[in-house]
Amino acid sequence: MTTATSGETRRGRQRRQLVDDLCVEARRQLAVGGTGSITWRGLARAVGMSPASLYTYFANIDELLTELILRTYADLASAVQQAAMAFADAPLGDRLLVGPYAYRRWALTHRPDFNLIFTDQLPGYAAEPGGPTVSAQTLVFAPMAAVVGEAMGWPPPGDDLAAAVAEHQQTLVGLWAGFHGFVTLEVNHHLDWLDSRAAFERSMRQMMEFSSLPAATPTFADAFDHWLLSAATVT
């Protein structure tokens, strides 16, 4: 019965399994010692193989990093999406803040990962225009854009969200830059000298107020943190 689940050869399964193992190990090393600690030989050691054998699966270390970046984008997108779903029935003002708050929380609990996907750590590594990283970006921001569009009364989000985004990209990029800037500074310890949690909340509320968007419930921040604790499910 080796060909029971045919169409899937044994090597194909083992290959996918090994690539998965390599990626989780790489992210483990990343969490421990930063980007510089992801080492080819260390990965080989972790999966019990010769360094030379890994070249069957990745052409070089940059290619592995690329795969890692894609998976990390997906991880962030999943975190944002889960939060959005958990607050799907909350008032509109609250739902506007869910995205930035999930974004920030994931960034603070995955600082090296956040820097990995958002700042160029390699020499000439620049995501090519039509590359897969841009689609990964849209995956992250689709939920947030949808809520903003709803709040601003944009065309029915049903079919062509992309068109609405293109039309109002100025507004969306402005909002994104706002909370991304705050989060980046926080992740890299440039706001350690103040109560950044409270400052973030005030900044977010101000951004929404300035953009004539509905205000969130006064207790939203606590509600979000409470939901975080109760969601000790997926890593």
Partner DNA sequence: ATTGATTTCCGAACATTGTTCGACTTATAG
Partner DNA sequence: CTATAAGTCGAACAATGTTCGGAAATCAAT
By CB under 7 A, name the binding residues for DNA: 9-11, 14-15, 18, 38-42, 48-53, 55-57, 60-62
| 49/70 with CB nearer DNA | 49
| Partner interacting with residue 55 (select from DNA, a second copy, none; CB below 5-8 Å by kind) | DNA
Half-sphere exposure of 105 (CA within 13 A, CB side): 22
Half-sphere exposure of 82 (CA within 13 A, CB side): 19
Is residue 214 at the binding interface for a second copy, with CB under 8 A as the rule? no
Q: How far is the CB of 50 from DNA (least distance, A)?
A: 4
Q: How far is the CB of 188 from a second copy (least distance, A)?
A: 5
**Torsion-angle region of residue 105: left (phi > 0), alpha (psi -120 to 50) or beta?**
alpha
In angstroms, the CA 167 to CA 60 distance is 40
Q: How many CB atoms within 10 Å of residue 226? A: 11
Contacts of 27 (CB under 8 A, 6+ apart): 68, 71, 72, 113
Q: How many CB atoms within 10 Å of residue 129? A: 6
| Partner interacting with residue 62 (select from DNA, a second copy, none; CB below 5-8 Å by kind) | DNA
Give the CA angle between residues 54, 57, 62 to the nearest 5°: 85
Site residues for a second copy, 161-190, by CB under 8 A, read 169-170, 173-174, 176-182, 184-185, 187-190
Is residue 202 at the binding interface for a second copy, with CB under 8 A as the rule? yes
Return the range that interacts with a second copy (CB under 8 A); candidates 74-82, 98-106, 113-121, 222-230: 113-121
| Partner interacting with residue 50 (select from DNA, a second copy, none; CB below 5-8 Å by kind) | DNA
How far the first Cα of the chain sits from its last, in Å, is 35
Q: How far is the CB of 175 from a second copy (least distance, A)?
A: 10
Measure CA 85 to chain center: 16
Single out the residue of 129, 153, 156, 218 in contact with a second copy (rule: CB under 8 A): 129
Q: How far is the CB of 127 from DNA (least distance, A)?
A: 19
Is residue 126 at the binding interface for a second copy, with CB under 8 A as the rule? yes
Q: How far is the CB of 235 from DNA (least distance, A)?
A: 25
**Torsion-angle region of residue 212: left (phi > 0), alpha (psi -120 to 50) or beta?**
left
Q: How far is the CB of 116 from DNA (least distance, A)?
A: 15
